[in-house]
Chain A
Amino acid sequence: MDPKNSRFSTQISHLALDIGGTLIKLVYFSPNGDNCEGGSIVVGNGCSVVQGRLCFAKFETRKIDDCLDFIRFNILQHSGVQHTNGTARDKLSVKATGGGAFKFADLFKEKLGIVFDKEDEMHSLVCGVNFLLKTVPREAFTYLDGQKEFVQIDHNDLYPYLLVNIGSGVSMIKVDGDGKYERISGTSLGGGTFLGLGKLLTNCKSFDELLELSHQGNNRVIDMLVGDIYGGTDYSKIGLSSTAIASSFGKAISDGKELEDYQPEDVARSLLRMISNNIGQIAYLNALRFGLKRIFFGGFFIRGLEYTMDTISVAVHFWSRGEAKAMFLRHEGFLGALGAFTSYKDQSHSTELKPHHHTVERAVLKCSDDDSFRHTPVTANVNDGEAIECSINLV
């Protein structure tokens, strides 16, 4: 690789993308002093110890032009990449993952002169989670009955764990170590099902609108509960309470009502509970199968939304009889992008790239106030005395 080109490459490696069907997720490095949208992790860069932050940004996939503009003005120029027409266009390589890495490859090349270095989606996902769980304290938390509780995870006792990524569909991945993982299961009842069926049933236009609706609904109107079958009593012989859902949408059978006769709120609620329950159950069964203690849920379906987390937690709790807990990640929306970002270091055997590599080995947390975390800078050693300082700053 010619040094000049590699220089461009390394410069632009401060950016990684995860282009999904609905959202584009960006992770990029911003040297200190720059403005950074969204949350960020401050990173020290290379021997010269460039202090900076990892910044996160999201765009709707259908508004991809906004994303292109953002990259052009906020990242390429700030990163010192001289981007003039015709010169380095074909030489800029950026890590990208997600289905859109294929679909939009030509667009990025044409508009920004960026060539995608495609990273496997699942690999990126796992790398992103491993990165977060090992470096960012208070990344994982449980959520039950409206209570968010952070879980301190011992880095030496992290593996194996189950990662459940709820995108349009659901992938369940058993993670045994860095780069060691296997997709062991999955289900087609995922976020896409929620939104797809929800749109057909309620005329909602967006995921957020549908979720909003579901908060106000009552699933008992449509779901057949155990009590509906047993005349209001529990089927205690087999441990089912009268409020347990016996059959999702089961009441629609006998009501003699049309779709229009139901409140969209109730429909959305039933749908959400059906899908969350099911994901929680299948995840639990898979964790059980491999004797995994921890289940982390991520993906766009979760989005830090409390009700969704709650239903999944309840399902795991129910099926495991309280023995397993669902856990969630603060940066769950950026797992793939983060993973793609960390994958740059895999090429560090190329000497001239080394100084420019950013690796976050370890981070120390210092709480400042309630809900924002400030990480004090730490120094770490990587690769035979080649010191890479990094600092993490969560804003």
Chain B
Amino acid sequence: MAGPGDDDEHDPILDDSIEAEAKTQTCVGGGSGERDMAPSAPGPSIHRSGSRPQLDLSKAEIQGNFEERDPTILLPNQSDDISHLALDIGGSLIKLLYFSRHEEDYSNDDDKRKRTIKERLGITNGNLRSYPVLGGRLHFVKFETHKINECLDFIHSKQLHRRDPYPWSSKTLPLGTGVIKVTGGGAYKFADLFKERLGVSIEKEDEMHCLVSGANFLLKAIRHEAFTHMEAEKEFVQIDPNDLYPYLLVNVGSGVSIIKVDGEGKFERVSGTNVGGGTYWGLGKLLTKCKSFDELLELSQKGDNSTIDMLVGDIYGGMDYSKIGLSASTIASSFGKAISENKELEDYRPEDISLSLLRMISYNIGQISYLNALRFGLKRIFFGGFFIRGHAYTMDTISFAVHFWSKGEMQAMFLRHEGFLGALGAFMSYEKHGLDDLMSHQLVERFPMGAPYTGGNIHGPPLGDLNEKISWMEKFVRRGTEITAPVPMTPSKTTGLGGFDVPSSRGSPLRSDASALNIGVLHFVPTLEVFPLLADPKTYEPNTIDLSDQGEREYWLKVLSEHLPDLVDTAVASEGGTEDAKRRGDAFARAFSAHLARLMEEPAAYGKLGLANLLELREECLREFQFVDAYRSIKQRENEASLAVLPDLLEELDSMNEEARLLTLIEGVLAANIFDWGSRACVDLYRKGTIIEIYRMSRNKMQRPWRVDDFDAFKERMLGTGGKQPHRHKRALLFVDNSGADVILGMLPLAREFLRRGTEVVLVANSLPALNDVTAMELPDIVAGAAKHCDILRRAAEMGGLLVDAMVNPGDGSKKDSTSAPLMVVENGCGSPCIDLRQVSSELAAAAKDADLVILEGMGRALHTNFNAQFKCESLKLAMVKNQRLADKLIKGNIYDCVCRYEPPSVSQM
């Protein structure tokens, strides 16, 4: 998979150690420094911003020995960025969409583990190439139309216009031959300007067609794209892509178009109204002297429409007209009070006028939409267009109208990417954009810091490389709210809630900027798949704890916030504690605090929020500031210490009978799971003793019954009862957690037991580092270290292709006997302490095909996520609870309680 962590621009912190194949990019993000660049002199050698080339650090791999002072790092994914571009030029905003692709070079696949696992599991390069989509990223950028030159500069600086518009092609076009797909009214208006400045022609795409194909794409490909908005509460709605049509799409621009969508390219404009955003803004401008749409909206927040609107209560002397279901506060006549009172325009507050207008128009749109949905029997109404703009009150009033008129039977829904429907559609109109068959599991959304263009706001400089990001974060802290960012927020001041702000705006949840949803960068990862062993992928929810509960949310945000200083120290230390590392560390801390503050204020800002997303966000943020592996040295140290005591442990185990050994192994897994740098309680523990001491103490304290204890059932499955020998498992997938004792003294001995019984074992580990979790890249070395002391492991590792440097000849069949099974390692596709089994690597999906046992280990993978996951095969969830609140919540127990949950295959309900 393409690494989820990297952004376009990276800092060559690791210059000296980068292999030559890591090419640098030819262009950089349009920093303000490039504005002065003569547009008439583009050419391929656009000057670089500073001296920092950009690198793709995804799948960065340390080459060679860990002991080396400055190990070489491989950047297999670094190559020329290939970009494609589409625009939607509206009256007030330009929406730009560009796709960047990092070509993966499969032929240069010198990762032995990967190659072996592919052979082993029957994944061939041919298979991979047959995927319809190549990996890449979709970036969403906004400009104000009257600042079109900024947009042109941006395109120019990224050389987006020089690309062959077709994503599979890497050709750079000669000047004057390019074609860009554009929709929106400005497509005609600015055609000459594009030709003149960029030398490209504009190909105009039908607006409505673009709108519909954009909406179809989003609703099918993004899991939590649609949401409802009632009384300031957002709720994401998961829509079954197979049950999407027909739906009603209401585009509220200057006017309103109401479109019935029946399928891909099948739609009809069934209605509309001339009372739309233009009416709000036009009338509002005449009545209030506001200079901008946003100003007018802002005004409405403070308004009271009852001073101008005639309410039912005004007519009936304060009473409801309950006979026909009208409450006293229902608007009987918009602006109706302006009739009878002898007031002039100046006597009314502009705030009240703005609100009255907003409610009049929103209700009307909601009502007409509802009537049309009713007419065609449509269940779903999606609203989009510039009038909505993620504005909470607008969404609330439209939702209210639909709810009111439909008596609660219909819901108004909104789209997170609604501003980009047209641009997306224009992108899709390229003959072969390759996004047709994209599935939601192949999309990952990231929220890099310092990309103001990509968010709901359009102020501030475009932040390109790391240096800019860092200085922006520094400036941000100094100037507070002046800079609008993907994480709009109040100035940073530490409060009782541990490092981030308690939102001051709780009382007024309708602040417009607070309600704006963030749009991240969409990563297309064609190699991601749904984990095939999930019993029912449709109902699967990875997160165990519901963070839509405010108490839970506040607690976990606080935990993350409190853990931040330690993490920053560790991260900075991992980079040698240099000044540069410190600076990046500070920037990371600020950026991540900003994310937390944003989420505190607006939990739905980044889509549906779960603990898994939150933990992943932290790892992504670390990677963004180029902390490739903050726990690298800690992991290394612990691995060494654990490997040193492994022989003793194995000897101890081998001296036991089968039954005692199985119990000791499970106890060992649970005991070793105490070594977790993600847990605050455990970090404190580490400071009190050595690994082995803690491990032994922990194991000795294992008193059955555990808090969740299915050991007997598991034992019966493994060893049988009454002399009956149960059939052995064919293949077990072991999802491992932490480095050090956890994997070496806990999971490896368990794996060895399965191997000894002839069961194939696949160790499933992270693709990218997260805390001290072991990664798939580190595991072969660990296994090799363990194999030195154990024949069983050595043989199995050889068969699994893990001992690439071993003296044994892998082709020597004489070594294999019928009972020996291979030990393999696959990456899970994640870079987070949790795992969302809807998006796993193709390797893991392939490995799952023959598996009949899934073992999930550790808090992140077995408790925070997947505690309630049902599998088609047997499953065993093992973890020690290292958080009191989670213990309370999940198992009504205490910190350090253990969970051993064994479940037979789930009987499918379908």
User: Contact residues of A with B, CB < 8 Å?
Assistant: 21-22, 99, 102-103, 120, 122, 167-169, 183, 185, 187-193, 195-197, 199-201, 203, 222-224, 229-231, 237-239, 244-254, 258-259, 262, 267, 274, 277-278, 281-282, 285-286, 288-289, 319
Contacts and interface: CB of A to CB of B under 8 A. Distances in A.
A249 B317 CA distance: 34
B374 to A, nearest CB: 6
22 contacts: A122-B323, A167-B333, A185-B367, A192-B334, A196-B308, A199-B339, A200-B338, A200-B353, A224-B255, A224-B278, A229-B254, A237-B208, A245-B255, A246-B254, A246-B255, A250-B274, A250-B278, A274-B279, A282-B368, A285-B372, A285-B375, A289-B374
B332 interface: yes
Given A168-B336, A247-B282, 13 more contacts: A103-B317, A185-B405, A187-B364, A192-B333, A192-B334, A192-B336, A238-B208, A238-B269, A248-B274, A248-B283, A249-B278, A259-B286, A282-B371
B275 interface: yes
A120 B310 CA distance: 20
Closest 4 CB pairs of A and B: A192-B336, A250-B278, A192-B333, A247-B278
Interface stretch (B340-348, B740-748, B826-834): B340-348
B452 interface: no
B271 interface: yes
Contacts of A244: 274
Contacts of B353: 200
A191 B335 CA distance: 10
B215 to A, nearest CB: 16
For B276, B317, B333, which residue has the most chain A Cβ atoms within 10 angstroms? Answer: B333
A278 B340 contact: no
A249 B371 CA distance: 24
B316 A193 contact: no
B363 interface: yes
Contact of B286 (A229, A247, A262, A285): A262
Interface string B187-205: 0100000000000000000
Interface of B: 91, 185, 188, 206, 208, 253-255, 257, 269, 271, 273-279, 281-283, 285-287, 289, 308-310, 315-317, 323-324, 331-340, 344-345, 348, 353, 360, 363-364, 367-368, 371-372, 374-375, 405
Given A254-B91, A289-B371, A249 B333 contact: no
A22 B339 CA distance: 9
B375 A197 contact: no
B332 to A, nearest CB: 4
A245 B273 CA distance: 9
Please indicate which of the listed interface residues B206, B253, B316, B335 has the most CB atoms of chain A within 10 Å of its own CB.
B335
B275 A99 contact: no
B323 A120 contact: yes
B309 A248 contact: no
Contacts of B372: 285
A46 to B, nearest CB: 33
Given A249-B278, A253-B281, A259-B286, A169 B336 contact: yes
Given A222-B282, A238-B208, A282-B368, A190 B333 contact: yes
Contacts of B269: 238-239
A282 B208 CA distance: 23
A267 B345 CA distance: 15
Contact of B283 (A120, A197, A245): A197
Contacts of A185: 367, 371, 405
A167 B312 CA distance: 13
A323 to B, nearest CB: 13
Given A188-B309, A197-B283, A247-B254, A253 B91 contact: yes
Contacts of A289: 371, 374-375
Contacts of A183: 324
B335 A200 contact: yes
Nearest to A194: B335
A196 B336 contact: yes
Contact of A277 (B274, B309, B340): B274
A181 B255 CA distance: 34
A252 to B, nearest CB: 3
B333 A188 contact: yes
Contacts of A190: 333-334, 336
A244 B255 CA distance: 11
A248 B340 contact: no
Contacts of B309: 188
Given A197-B283, A247-B276, A249-B279, A192 B339 contact: yes
A254 B285 CA distance: 10
B335 A252 contact: no
A188 B363 contact: yes
A196 B333 contact: yes
B405 to A, nearest CB: 7
B344 A249 contact: no
Nearest to A123: B323
B340 A21 contact: yes
Contacts of B315: 21, 99, 168
A16 B656 CA distance: 104
Contacts of B334: 188-190, 192-193, 196-197
Contacts of A286: 371
Nearest to A261: B286
B333 A169 contact: yes
A169 B364 CA distance: 13
A249 B283 contact: yes
Contacts of B336: 168-169, 188, 190, 192-193, 196
Tell which of A99, A230, A250, A281 has the most Cβ of chain B within 10 Å. A250
A193 B360 contact: yes
Contacts of A253: 91, 254, 278, 281-282, 285
Nearest to A230: B185
A239 B271 CA distance: 11
Nearest to B269: A238
Nearest to B277: A247
Contacts of A259: 286-287, 345
B309 to A, nearest CB: 7
A231 B339 contact: no
A266 to B, nearest CB: 11
B271 A319 contact: yes
Contacts of B282: 222, 224, 247-253
A168 B315 CA distance: 10
B248 to A, nearest CB: 13
Given A222-B282, A249-B286, A168 B339 contact: yes
Contacts of A249: 278-279, 282-283, 286
A356 B185 CA distance: 70
A259 B286 CA distance: 5
Nearest to A98: B315
Contacts of A281: 271, 273, 368
A345 B324 CA distance: 24
A274 B275 CA distance: 7
Nearest to A249: B282
A278 B159 CA distance: 47
A288 B276 contact: no
Contact of B364 (A168, A191, A278): A278
Contacts of A251: 282
A37 to B, nearest CB: 26
Contact of A246 (B274, B287, B374): B274
A129 to B, nearest CB: 17
Contacts of B317: 99, 102-103
Contacts of B331: 169, 188
A246 to B, nearest CB: 4
A192 B311 CA distance: 11
Contacts of A258: 286, 289
A288 B308 contact: no
Contacts of B371: 185, 282, 285-286, 289
Most A Cβ at <10 Å: residue of B206, B278, B345, B375 = B278
A222 B281 CA distance: 12
A252 B276 contact: no
